[in-house]
Amino acid sequence: MAGVHGTVPHSIVVTGAKAAGSLEAAEDIVRQLASAELAMVLVFVSPFYDPSSFIKEISQQMPDTPVFGCTTAGEIAPHGWEEDSVVALGFAAEDFIVSACVLPDLSSFRIDGGISLCRELYREFARRTEHCDAAHGSFGLIFIDGMCQREEAVMSAIYASLEDVPVVGGSAGDRLQFERSWVFYDGNAYTNAAVLILIRTSLPFRLFKCDNFEPTSNKMVVTEADIECRVVKEINAEPAALEYSKAVGVDVTQLDAFAFAAHPVLVRVGGSFYARSIQRMDSDASLRFFCAVDEGMVLTVARARDPVESTREFLNKMKDEMGKVSIFLGFECLFRRLDVERRQLSRGMSDLYRLNNVIGFHTYGEQYRSVHINQTLTGVAIGTRAPR
């Protein structure tokens, strides 16, 4: 899977590699990007490759270009959905200015400490971009270790620090193993960490969130939970898995990853509904979630729309509103992909992404502005350079 994707000349170059090992994959990506003057490279890397070896190799071969990114639960490549591959995006220095930092040791992360790091990054970013035209805009990208269970705290710190810079991103994955995931910064692969990137650009852009679920009138209340571990023990004062299975109409013995992907629950935040995906059922009939849960939280059973058609409508609407969109940089929940596969619609969705230049990776959770969510495609649509 090699070759430069040329629909974004001189602004963003999209490449891919599907090689036998980390060294070969890194060399393939570097070869494809060698002729471009880049502000940064983003890499979304299957853990089929050794994360530390890959990022060390590509950073050594591109010493003057910062490389950021993470491991994946699947890749969204120039030709559609992919596995066991690397997707890379080179951002032209002519069109982008970037500043980045790593947020380490998330297991002991404190919001006040996170605010301090993010504010320091924002001050550096402001200095680097003070000469930019006022018409230029800024946004942020966040990649977080998908096993840290600290996304909500990290997003709280970010949104207390960055004034009006909106942020979007995804939680790193490890091919459905749920053991370890990595983020990349300064030539190193980190676990238990996040990478925050601030970007200033002259190109038009818009953050987006797309899902295919609607709320129903069927609601449940979390009556007992282990908040720290994101585990719901009881719903409506009954064992959580039993009450959930009754609400969604699936026998409790059939509750697996595909069932959870087909039947997420929704939580209302600020007037909008956001999906909350269930990772698994534990032996005591409790439910382990990918997002934060709390006692008293109201869970709304979702009704699904056709995922391909609803996504097609959304992408077309974005293009109608923005004009020409050169790329949709996308972070798509793994459970959204599993649901599409269960419906046997994978080819249709993959083709849709290929035709619309949706590029990115499959996540263990998505970040959209201040909210951590699931079962969603989030990202940023980036337009084209104005004629000169």
pLDDT tens-digit map of 290-318: 999 999 999 999 999 999 999 999 999 99
Mean predicted lDDT score pLDDT of the chain: 94
The reply to whether 53 and 185 lie within a common domain is yes
Residue 10 confidence (pLDDT) above 70: no
Is position 38 within any domain?
A: yes
Let me know whether 247 and 330 are in one domain: no
In a domain, 173, yes or no: yes
Any domain includes 2: no
pLDDT band for position 163 (cuts 50, 70, 90): confident
Are 27 and 113 contained in the same domain? yes
Number of domains in the chain: 2
Residue type, 158: I
Residues 65-87 have a mean pLDDT of: 97
pLDDT digits (tens, 9 = 90+) for 172-183: 999 888 999 999
Tell whether 47 and 183 lie within a shared domain: yes
At 5 the pLDDT is 42
Q: What is the pLDDT of residue 2?
A: 44
- 9 vs 215, which has greater pLDDT? 215
Cβ-contact 132, 353 below 8 angstroms = no
* Residue 349 domain-assigned (yes or no): yes
State residue 114's pLDDT score: 96
* Shared-domain flag, residues 52 and 114: yes
Q: Is residue 59 in some structural domain?
A: yes
**Residues 192 and 336 grouped into a single domain:** yes
Residue 142: how many other CB atoms lie within 10 Å: 22
Please check whether residues 192 and 220 belong to one and the same domain: no
Which of 303, 334, 361 is the last residue in one of the domains?
A: 303
pLDDT of residue 388: 59
Q: Do 137 and 182 belong to one domain?
A: yes
Strand 213-226 to 205-210 pairing: unpaired
Domain end call among 248, 271, 303: 303
Residues 363-371 have a mean pLDDT of: 94
User: Are 249 and 332 found together in one domain?
Assistant: no
250: containing domain: 213-303
Residue 270: pLDDT band by 50, 70, 90 thresholds?
Answer: confident
Do 226 and 282 lie in one domain? The reply is: yes
**Percent above pLDDT 90 for the chain:** 89
Task: Please indicate, yes or no, whether residues 172 and 217 belong to a single structural domain of this protein.
Answer: no
185 band by pLDDT with thresholds 50, 70 and 90: very high
Which whole number is the average pLDDT over 252-260?
93
> Which range, 8-12, 95-99, 265-269, has the best average confidence (pLDDT)?
95-99
Query: According to the model, what pLDDT value does residue 1 have?
Result: 54
What's residue 253's pLDDT?
Answer: 95
**Do residues 253 and 145 both lie within one domain?**
no
Whole-number percent of the chain with pLDDT over 70: 97
231 has pLDDT over 80: yes
Lowest-confidence segment of 82-96, 194-208, 262-276 by average pLDDT: 262-276
Q: Across residues 65-77, what is the average pLDDT? A: 98
pLDDT > 50? residue 131 = yes
pLDDT at 247 over 90: yes
Final residue belonging to a domain, choices 259, 280, 303: 303
